[in-house]
Structure 1
């Protein structure tokens, strides 16, 4: 009897450790792929290294007032699948609310109007150049695109990308930037991250399950986790490019040369949010006001003060400045933003600051950056990375989303495309 029970237990464990499809990553791409494959009748297991779902879409409540520490906008809402997903879940979306005013500062002091006008004229140069430049013969970096403006104006013109792409202009492909989709933006008042997490309901998701190896040299795909090895006929890998580039997941055999080459053509931006909780004195600031520190173009930082009348200030920065703050750590980031606010607001801001939330995506081992950026001359890397591996491994996510790259919506579409490819494989 004992032997029979042991054998039954082993068979049950073996069944538990097998699936039709294993999906690595429970962000938007992984969840979308899992839903589509489940609807197609496949048994799907989703492995997630974190203790939560959503990936880089994360509504943080650690300070009390909630804010989106990662993705915030449903971009190009006219065709973004999250508009419909939100509707199906009964979750409200709305246009971005008007703020409580906008001010530009230089080293914590109001910027003179002449300098503001100079900046305003420079900011529009990227779009104007992209409308007229011929990129058919060769790609350019955004910095080279603006080269004839001179070093000072070029740096000012491209500095806005630090708060959108999160990367320095000499590392951004102009061709890739040119093809990114545009449209209306919506926000999710209850949190974009909360919406993405809700979308995971009903799926077989294993949290705290980082993957260390994917073997694809046998009759199936074997995925190694702390709980054992899962076997499946196919695997969809949706972890960020930054994680793939670290080699945290070992492929056996190694990835084909074309996929490795594609990874070499992609980097990760470092768009970063630092949220401080401020209680008590609001220093006469209208809730929803935005302050832009632009004294040094390379250290551009935007601060949203008391958004939605909440007791928080959210500072945004990107590029190498954000990398330096991330590497310096939480207390250094707190001191930096607090000092800047003190210069802007006057008074004793330090007494009002009671907490900090600093996700630091750049140093997060499960992200290694905010989102993917094509390097100059490597604008085909996104499509190249998405090429199937051995007919049964598929890399999908915002990095493979073409014009939808760098967005939750793009990741979702890429996850669905990978699921469609897997669904064509005989179960």
Structure 2
């Protein structure tokens, strides 16, 4: 959602904005599937700590989106065969994923520690899902206790309920897009940016940036006063961007 969020912010400050999206949909890692007749989120699905300290709270309320206060303790969890966990299994899952006792620190990465903590569990589908709940920083030396305390402090700092998006998280994306377009913003999907050229102004001399992207199989170049590129962290990590020039 970085692209539409940045576009809306710039628009609110009085700029004329065109949003280019390489996929055929907006939202990035926010993806809601409705093929089974109900919304199932494969990306974000919660607004954690929905209080005045959380900027998403006002956005969700301003868009009149349907939510439900749904504490984590009410969740049901199932194994890879579709069998529901009993209370003891859920408690064990919570211990492994969130509530490690002091003294379980490690000097390797968080993922390495979790896998060594209980190899049998973290080599299963359930274990992989647990691992997916953490944002691993490659090469970091954070231990499970530190990460759990950071997560807990963030939730306690914001306070407020845990909101479940009843129409899927895509409702938030669609609401932001609709608001952006109704205010005059332009959205182009399937527009894969291939090159961004810019120059640095000097004194009274100004210049524009040129953005080249594909649209309906053709290459299009558009000029702009400025360009904002929103990409997942994995893109620069995997060196899928190729910056060049003395100013980079």
* Number of corresponding residues: 222
Bigger Rg over Cα: 1
Distance 1:92 1:173, change over 3 A: farther
Once the two structures are TM-superposed, the CA of residue 87 in structure 1 deviates from its matched residue by 1.3
2:209 aligned residue (210, 221, 225): 221
Once the two structures are TM-superposed, the CA of residue 54 in structure 1 deviates from its matched residue by 2.0
Please tell me the root mean square deviation across aligned C-alpha atoms, in Å: 4.3
Whether 2:15 is the aligned partner of 1:42: answer yes
1:61 maps to 34
Once the two structures are TM-superposed, the CA of residue 211 in structure 1 deviates from its matched residue by 0.7
Residues of 1 paired with 2:220 and 2:89: CA distance? 60
1:298-330: CA deviations, max 9, x gaps?
Answer: xxxxxxxxxxxxxxxxxxxxxxxxxxxxxxxxx
Once the two structures are TM-superposed, the CA of residue 95 in structure 1 deviates from its matched residue by 1.3
Residues of 2 paired with 1:182 and 1:153: CA distance? 27
1:161 aligned residue (124, 130, 135): 130
Whether 2:186 is the aligned partner of 1:204: answer yes
Distance 1:252 1:213, change over 3 A: farther
- Secondary structure (helix, strand or coil) at the match of 2:19 reads strand
Once the two structures are TM-superposed, the CA of residue 100 in structure 1 deviates from its matched residue by 9.1
Q: What does 1:123-142 align with in structure 2 at a 5 Å threshold?
A: 123-124=94-95, 127=98, 129=100, 140-142=108-110
Residues of 1 paired with 2:26 and 2:55: CA distance? 18
1:236-262: CA deviations, max 9, x gaps?
Answer: 2212123344555443339xxxxxxxx
2:227 maps to 235
Distance 1:92 1:238, change over 3 A: same
With the length of structure 1 as denominator, give the TM-score of the two structures.
0.41
2:164 maps to 187
Q: What stretches of structure 2 of length at least 5 have no aligned partner?
A: 201-206
Higher helix share: 1
Distance 1:147 1:241, change over 3 A: closer
1:272-322: CA deviations, max 9, x gaps?
Answer: xxxxxxxxxxxxxxxxxxxxxxxxxxxxxxxxxxxxxxxxxxxxxxxxxxx
Once the two structures are TM-superposed, the CA of residue 154 in structure 1 deviates from its matched residue by 8.1
Residues of 1 paired with 2:163 and 2:239: CA distance? 36
Residues of 1 paired with 2:221 and 2:236: CA distance? 20
1:177 maps to 147
Work out whether residues 115 and 123 of structure 2, in 8 Å CA contact, stay in contact via their aligned partners in 1. no
2:69 aligned residue (90, 95, 120): 95
Work out whether residues 108 and 141 of structure 2, in 8 Å CA contact, stay in contact via their aligned partners in 1. yes
Distance 1:146 1:206, change over 3 A: closer
Residues of 2 paired with 1:83 and 1:49: CA distance? 28
Once the two structures are TM-superposed, the CA of residue 140 in structure 1 deviates from its matched residue by 3.7
Residues of 1 paired with 2:7 and 2:228: CA distance? 9
Residues of 2 paired with 1:189 and 1:87: CA distance? 13
Once the two structures are TM-superposed, the CA of residue 204 in structure 1 deviates from its matched residue by 2.0
Residues of 1 paired with 2:8 and 2:35: CA distance? 29
1:10-56: CA deviations, max 9, x gaps?
Answer: xxxxxxxxxxxxxxxxxx22222222222222222211112222222
- Secondary structure (helix, strand or coil) at the match of 1:177 reads helix
- Secondary structure (helix, strand or coil) at the match of 2:192 reads coil
Task: Extract structure 1 runs of 4+ deviating beyond 6 A.
Answer: 97-101, 106-111, 153-158, 169-172
Distance 1:140 1:128, change over 3 A: farther
Once the two structures are TM-superposed, the CA of residue 177 in structure 1 deviates from its matched residue by 3.4
Once the two structures are TM-superposed, the CA of residue 72 in structure 1 deviates from its matched residue by 0.9
Residues of 1 paired with 2:31 and 2:54: CA distance? 18
Distance 1:117 1:46, change over 3 A: same
Residues of 2 paired with 1:215 and 1:77: CA distance? 40
Work out whether residues 72 and 162 of structure 2, in 8 Å CA contact, stay in contact via their aligned partners in 1. no
Once the two structures are TM-superposed, the CA of residue 172 in structure 1 deviates from its matched residue by 6.6
